């Protein structure tokens, strides 16, 4: 018996087949095998693909194959936790006489009959962090169902408990929002997790009719379809310029870290705005640097400092600075040119006018064209982005409309700020850094501080 248990510890698919007498779907098999090998697994998916079922199986497998195992389950709602997850556990526990002999299902927990105090699975609501605190064990598994809906404070309690070698975390859900730990698990915290995505459209468990109806009602690219069917995080904007999906993909690609060094600078206009600097190296944006509450001189000083630091770090003998020269940017541009000349830094300052003329007359101004050019690069996978949650948030919420002359115009910053209560400074700095300027072929030999582009 001991030997079988040890064997099944590494073979959850076999456990499901032999003990529960169930057949795992392909993705469930992958998920189980991954869970057996790793400490943290995050799965986002559409509706009805069998996530709760997978979690119930994982609970039973963990209990069955570890002595004094502890499993802690949580979900955003009582219904999700008891009526769905605990019910699913009950359903599968009943499939096995052996399991039923060893374990007893109760409404809020499953206990090992011979040692109920130390060996159990318990369901706790995600109402307050205390509910999930104080669990430590050699064999410990946390299950977070519909994880997008669970608060970060709850997650912190869970994460704090994951200290032992055989401590695991399995979290599943529809990716309903672009923030929180579940979102981060697929973005900036991605290196901490094994991740999976499962689409309802590909799952044999969800009717084609359900998927087709949703797509017909809302469109394939709508948030509801993304989240409920495709297992994609929401796009948030129907009239957005850049869908979140493209941004996500760019953040997952590896940067090549070669090419020209270009900084795109969006200078803060008001108290709460940020000055944002997008650091571009060839086809990569390596970072977005930001700061607040700085006067013109301080801002200039910081840009120069950043510039020289980056030139040294990336061994570049020259660089380019692109600054939105409208409004306060103008003062910064002038001062930068002076300093660059004084200090003989081989950098060219290019004053851009976000509100000024575009090259292509389908766009009403420079920044509108630049933002669409950025989208095109993302579509063609010609750009990598840093894993910056704020950048993703800002980029995916930039909207456009058509003006009276039928030209594409990006929602003015002032309007964006009214709508979302923040300024899309990072997004605009990035657009500047990658804006298609006039062909480089006509550039005369390098002149420091040239105003050639004006
Ligand atoms: N491999 C499987 N074999 C048998 N039944 C399954 C399997 N996967 C899922 N189910 C069942 O399908 C139904 C829907 O699955 P569920 O886990 O609730 O989906 P989700 O949580 O992704 O919305 C449940 O009744 C579940 O027991
Ligand atoms: Mg479920």
Atom of ligand 1 nearest to the CA of 28: 1
The answer on 165 and 58 residing in a single domain is yes
CB hemisphere CA count around 231 (13 angstroms): 24
pLDDT beyond 70 at 308: yes
Query: What confidence score (pLDDT) does residue 249 get?
Result: 67
52 close to ligand 1 (CB < 6 Angstrom): yes
Q: Quote the ligand 2 centre to 326 CA distance (angstroms).
A: 51
Query: What confidence score (pLDDT) does residue 105 get?
Result: 97
The alpha carbon dihedral of 52, 54, 55, 59 has a sign of: positive
Report the distance separating Cα 378 and Cα 390, nearest Å: 17
Q: Looking at 174-236, which runs of residues are DSSP E strands?
A: 194-198
Is 222 contained in some domain? no
The answer on 254 and 172 residing in a single domain is no
The answer on 273 and 173 residing in a single domain is no
Three-state SS at 191: helix
Query: What confidence score (pLDDT) does residue 443 get?
Result: 36
Is 228 contained in some domain? no
Tokens of residue 351, six digits: 């004053």
Atom of ligand 1 nearest to the CA of 47: 23
Bridge partner residues of 140 (DSSP): 70, 167
The total of structural domains in the chain comes to: 2
Nearest Cα residue to atom 15 of ligand 1 = 50
Summarize pLDDT for 337-391 with one digit per residue, the tens: 999 999 999 999 999 999 999 999 889 999 999 999 999 999 998 999 997 767 8
287 touches 261 (CB < 8 A): no
In which band, very low, low, confident or very high, does the pLDDT at 240 lie, cut at 50, 70 and 90?
confident
CB hemisphere CA count around 322 (13 angstroms): 25
pLDDT beyond 80 at 447: no
Tokens of residue 148, six digits: 């997008």
Nearest Cα residue to atom 7 of ligand 1 = 50
Atom of ligand 1 nearest to the CA of 56: 17
Three-state SS at 450: coil
What interhelical angle do 51-65 and 26-37 show, nearest 10?
Answer: 40
Tokens of residue 113, six digits: 């009959």
Tokens of residue 341, six digits: 């000349």
Of 152, 179, 206, which closes a domain? 206
The answer on 391 and 332 residing in a single domain is yes
Query: What confidence score (pLDDT) does residue 419 get?
Result: 79
∠ Cα 271 273 274 (to 5°):
120
Q: Provide the percentage of residues in the chain whose pLDDT is more than 70.
A: 93
Phi, psi dihedral angles at 243 (to 5 degrees): -65, 145
Q: Quote the ligand 2 centre to 77 CA distance (angstroms).
A: 12
- CB within 8 A of 117, min separation 6: which ones? none
The answer on 255 and 202 residing in a single domain is no
Report the distance separating Cα 440 and Cα 432, nearest Å: 16
48 close to ligand 1 (CB < 6 Angstrom): yes
Query: What confidence score (pLDDT) does residue 238 get?
Result: 61
Is 451 contained in some domain? no
Residue 108 CB neighbour total at 10 angstroms: 13
Of 206, 237, 263, which closes a domain? 206
Tokens of residue 411, six digits: 């929602």
The answer on 180 and 259 residing in a single domain is no
Q: pTM of the full predicted structure?
A: 0.59
Q: Looking at 75-113, which runs of residues are DSSP E strands?
A: 103-105, 109-112
The answer on 315 and 387 residing in a single domain is yes
Is 235 contained in some domain? no
Report the distance separating Cα 357 and Cα 382, nearest Å: 25
The DSSP annotation for 378-445 comes to HHTT--B----HHHHHHHHT-BEEE-TTS-EEEPPHHHHHHHHSS--HHHHHHHHHT---S-GGGPPS
Of 181, 206, 231, which closes a domain? 206
The alpha carbon dihedral of 94, 100, 104, 110 has a sign of: negative
Element (H, E) at 156: helix 152-161
Atom of ligand 1 nearest to the CA of 53: 17
29 close to ligand 1 (CB < 6 Angstrom): no
How, if at all, do strands 347-352 and 109-112 pair? unpaired
Is 336 contained in some domain? yes
CATH of the domain at 410: 3.30.420.240
Of 180-194, 221-235, 259-273, 370-384, minimum mean pLDDT range: 221-235
Nearest Cα residue to atom 16 of ligand 1 = 50
The answer on 172 and 299 residing in a single domain is no
Order the strands of the 284-292 sheet from edge to edge: 284-292, 274-281, 261-266, 319-324, 347-352
Mean local confidence (pLDDT), 40-45: 97
Question: Is the pLDDT higher at 363 or at 452?
Answer: 363
231 touches 198 (CB < 8 A): yes
The answer on 77 and 161 residing in a single domain is yes
Summarize pLDDT for 110-147 with one digit per residue, the tens: 999 999 999 999 999 998 999 999 899 999 999 999 89
Query: What confidence score (pLDDT) does residue 446 get?
Result: 38
The answer on 202 and 255 residing in a single domain is no
pLDDT beyond 90 at 329: no
Is 220 contained in some domain? no
Question: Is the pLDDT higher at 242 or at 450?
Answer: 242
The answer on 193 and 83 residing in a single domain is yes
CATH of the domain at 98: 3.40.50.300
Report the distance separating Cα 135 and Cα 129, nearest Å: 12
Is 185 contained in some domain? yes
Report the distance separating Cα 250 and Cα 382, nearest Å: 9
b or e along 414-452 (b: 16 or more beta carbons within 10 Å of the residue's beta carbon)?
eebbeeeeebbbbbbbbbbbbbebeeeeeeeeeeebeee
The answer on 411 and 345 residing in a single domain is yes
Domain that holds residue 160: 2-206
50 close to ligand 1 (CB < 6 Angstrom): yes
b or e along 293-323 (b: 16 or more beta carbons within 10 Å of the residue's beta carbon)?
eeeeeebbeebbebbeebbeebebeebbbbb
Q: Quote the ligand 2 centre to 29 CA distance (angstroms).
A: 17
Question: Is the pLDDT higher at 220 or at 156?
Answer: 156
Report the distance separating Cα 349 and Cα 451, nearest Å: 7
Query: What confidence score (pLDDT) does residue 217 get?
Result: 63
- CB within 8 A of 374, min separation 6: which ones? 242, 383, 395, 430, 431, 434
231 close to ligand 1 (CB < 6 Angstrom): no
pLDDT beyond 50 at 280: yes
Residue 189 CB neighbour total at 10 angstroms: 16
Is 245 contained in some domain? no
In which band, very low, low, confident or very high, does the pLDDT at 437 lie, cut at 50, 70 and 90?
confident
Atom of ligand 1 nearest to the CA of 24: 1
Of 175-184, 277-286, 385-394, 423-432, minimum mean pLDDT range: 385-394
């Amino acid at each position: 018996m001991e030997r079988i248990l040890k064997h099944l510890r590494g073979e959850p698919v076999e456990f499901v087949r032999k003990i529960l007498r169930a057949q795992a779907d392909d993705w469930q098999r992958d998920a189980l095998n991954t869970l057996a090998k790793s400490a943290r697994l995050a799965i986002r998916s559409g509706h009805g693909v069998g996530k709760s079922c997978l979690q119930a199986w994982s609970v039973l497998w963990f209990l069955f194959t570890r002595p004094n195992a502890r499993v802690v389950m949580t979900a955003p709602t009582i219904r999700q936790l008891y009526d769905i997850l605990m019910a699913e556990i009950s359903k599968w526990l009943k499939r096995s006489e052996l399991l039923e002999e060893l374990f007893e299902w109760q409404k809020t927990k499953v206990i090992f009959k011979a040692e109920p105090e130390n060996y159990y699975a318990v369901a706790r609501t995600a109402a307050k962090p205390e509910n999930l605190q104080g669990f430590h064990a050699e064999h410990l598994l946390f299950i977070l169902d519909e994880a997008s809906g669970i608060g970060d404070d709850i997650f912190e309690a869970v994460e704090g408990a994951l200290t032992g070698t055989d401590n695991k975390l399995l979290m599943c859900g529809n990716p309903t929002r672009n923030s929180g730990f579940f979102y981060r698990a697929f973005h900036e915290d991605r290196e901490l997790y094994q991740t999976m995505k499962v689409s309802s459209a590909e799952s044999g468990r969800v009717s084609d009719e359900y998927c087709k109806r949703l797509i017909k009602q809302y469109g394939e690219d709508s948030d509801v379809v993304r989240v409920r069917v495709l297992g994609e995080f929401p796009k948030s904007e129907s009239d957005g310029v850049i869908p979140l999906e493209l941004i996500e993909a760019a953040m997952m690609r590896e940067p090549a870290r070669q090419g020209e060094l270009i900084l795109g600078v969006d200078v803060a206009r008001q108290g709460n705005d940020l000055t944002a600097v997008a650091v571009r190296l060839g086809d990569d944006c390596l970072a977005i640097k930001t700061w607040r509450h700085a006067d013109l001189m301080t801002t200039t000083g910081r840009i120069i400092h950043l510039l020289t630091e980056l030139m040294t770090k990336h061994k570049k003998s020259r660089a380019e600075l692109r600054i939105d020269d409208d409004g306060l940017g103008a003062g910064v541009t002038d001062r930068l040119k002076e300093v660059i000349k004084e200090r003989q830094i081989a950098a060219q300052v290019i004053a851009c006018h976000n509100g000024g003329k575009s090259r292509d007359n389908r766009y009403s101004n420079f920044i509108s064209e630049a933002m669409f050019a950025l989208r095109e690069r993302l579509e063609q996978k010609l750009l990598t982005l840093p894993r910056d949650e704020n950048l993703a948030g800002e980029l995916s919420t930039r909207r456009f409309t058509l003006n009276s002359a039928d030209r594409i115009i990006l929602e003015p910053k002032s309007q964006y700020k009214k709508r979302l209560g923040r300024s899309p400074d990072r997004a605009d700095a990035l657009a500047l850094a990658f804006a298609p300027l006039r062909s480089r072929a006509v550039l005369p030999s390098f002149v420091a501080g040239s105003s050639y582009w004006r």
